[in-house]
Structure 1
Amino acid sequence: SLKRVSIEEIPATSRAKRGLQVLRELKNKPHRVFLAGAVAEQGFVGDLFSTEVEENDQTLLVQSNKGTIYESRLQDLNLSERTSNGSFISDTISDEEVFDAYLKEVFTEAK
């Protein structure tokens, strides 16, 4: 599942603190954090921590362990509470496992 959380929901803490819960624990098919990063107002090319470019869309590609690739526009995700588990990309992804996730490269024409 995917979720988008405001950065204000996750405060910076000192090294001595224990951390902050970002998912509710589930007994059946528990969620795990696979990939995290910033959703930019202006899009990125490459991974979630690269530099900004002039494209506004960020599309995340998620590949399941069965080879199915799912696309999701990150700007279309609604803001969630910090402890929510997010929403599924599709009904079948919960039966499959995530194999890889990366940003789709977007190229813009020079004007």
Structure 2
Amino acid sequence: MSFLFNDKEKNVVEEIKFGKKLNKNRVITRAVTLKILDTAIIYNDEEDYYDTLATCANENNIIETISIEGFEIQENVIELKGAYIDYEQDSDINSTGTIYYL
């Protein structure tokens, strides 16, 4: 995926590509598969940003809510409710995930 930006001063178009940021020294402290039960978009007025949250059931049927901002979504996912997440959390409390259907 990429975006095209038009620089009006220089009259050129610049393509900005997105890539995965990988930390080779990343230590995974938690890896789990979750099933999405519901989602909500919330606004944090203190820091002025929106966040997408997913309420999920883990493998032990314990309910938890996580942020899914920036997670990869497979192309066959048309609705988040009922989809699964392969969720990883590292020692720096950063999380990544892939959302998919079985």
TM-score bin (small chain): under 0.3
Q: Which has the higher contact order (CA 8 A, sep 6+)?
A: 1
- TM-score, with length taken from structure 2: 0.25
Select the structure of larger CA radius of gyration.
2
